[in-house]
């Protein structure tokens, strides 16, 4: 199946660990003989001008819009292209052979199992879906529906908007109603799981792996937390780099 993997990130001042994530995605595409397309800041030109102005300080929301427009345009303009796979720039593919995409799936989202401590410090998992990976086949009606829904929501929304408004929050709400196909092999790590990854083991990491219905071969490392301290975890570049080294060496085990 003629497939294109698409990604975007700024081309200047890329953290080394993000560059490693991008390289891992490109290698995954090459392993499967798929096209690989990368776009820099010019991706924002795809967003309608009014929404670019409205969300000028909220670039993740603009990316949520742009990725859908980019995928739609690629599928419309390339007659031989059958499938587009979006992958966030901070997804590290550490076991590419296990990240398998079923050719019969016309639209799919990723699985998010979020591990977080409660006030009593006990660990709790929250199951949602995410858009760190999105799969669109040319035949899917979901892409046009989702794009129109995202545009309508972005236009109508008033007041502060969370970075997840047009992505995980919207997709999870829709998924709970209609039940999208889900790619379980591309997961997401919270800061407390990231810390366990860097350390090589820990209870939060065990929570993630035990709650996952399939073996995970790629994870979104959540660059949105870069430079922040969350649940006592300092999410600096050293932590991300240590997590990637561990994943490259031995995966999630």
**Model pLDDT for residues 95-131, shown as the tens digit of each residue:** 999 999 999 999 999 999 999 998 777 899 999 999 9
In this prediction, what percent of the chain has a pLDDT beyond 90? 87
State the CATH number of the domain containing residue 196: 3.90.550
pLDDT digits (tens, 9 = 90+) for 124-163: 999 999 999 999 999 999 999 999 999 999 999 987 888 8
Q: What is the largest CA-CA distance in the chain?
A: 56
- Distances in Å between the Cα of 189 and the Cα atoms of 25, 45, 87, 146, 233 are 17, 30, 15, 25, 13
In this prediction, what percent of the chain has a pLDDT beyond 70? 100
C-beta of residue 83 within 8 angstroms of C-beta of residue 1: yes
The tokens for 164 are 């997840």
Query: pLDDT grade, residue 56 (50/70/90)?
Result: very high
Average pLDDT over every residue of 218-239: 93
| φ, ψ dihedrals at 57, nearest 5° | -100, 5
Domain of residue 159: give its range: 3-250
- Domain count along the chain: 1
Cα dihedral 146/174/118/110 (nearest 10): -60
Contacts 24+ apart (CB under 8 A), 149-157: 149/174, 150/64, 150/65, 150/68, 151/48, 151/51, 151/65, 154/51, 154/54, 154/55, 154/61, 154/65, 155/50, 155/51
C-beta of residue 115 within 8 angstroms of C-beta of residue 123: yes
C-beta of residue 89 within 8 angstroms of C-beta of residue 24: no
Instruction: Output the pLDDT for position 50.
Output: 96
Instruction: Output the pLDDT for position 119.
Output: 78
The tokens for 187 are 């997961």
């Amino acid at each position: 199946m003629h497939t294109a993997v698409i990604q975007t990130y700024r081309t200047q001042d890329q953290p080394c660990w993000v560059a490693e994530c991008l390289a891992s995605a490109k290698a995954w595409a090459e392993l499967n003989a798929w096209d690989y397309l990368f776009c820099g800041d010019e991706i924002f030109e795809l967003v309608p001008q009014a929404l670019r102005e409205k969300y000028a300080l909220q670039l993740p929301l603009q990316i949520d819009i742009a990725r859908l427009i980019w995928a739609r345009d690629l599928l419309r303009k390339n007659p031989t292209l059958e499938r587009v796979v979006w992958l966030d720039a901070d997804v590290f593919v550490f076991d590419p052979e296990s990240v398998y995409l079923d050719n019969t799936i016309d639209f799919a989202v990723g699985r998010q199992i979020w591990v977080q401590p409660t006030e009593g410090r006990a660990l709790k998992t929250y199951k949602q879906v995410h858009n760190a990976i999105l799969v669109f086949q040319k035949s899917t009606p979901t892409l046009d529906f989702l794009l129109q829904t995202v545009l309508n929501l972005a236009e109508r929304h008033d007041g502060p908007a969370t970075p997840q408004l047009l992505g995980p929050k919207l997709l999870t709400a829709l998924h709970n109603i209609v039940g999208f196909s889900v790619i379980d092999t591309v997961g997401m790590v919270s800061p407390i799981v990231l810390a366990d990854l860097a350390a090589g083991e820990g209870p939060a990491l065990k929570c993630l792996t035990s709650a996952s219905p399939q073996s995970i071969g790629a994870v979104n490392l959540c660059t949105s937390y870069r430079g922040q301290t969350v649940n006592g975890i300092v999410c600096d570049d050293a932590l991300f780099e240590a997590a990637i080294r561990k994943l490259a060496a031995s995966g999630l085990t």
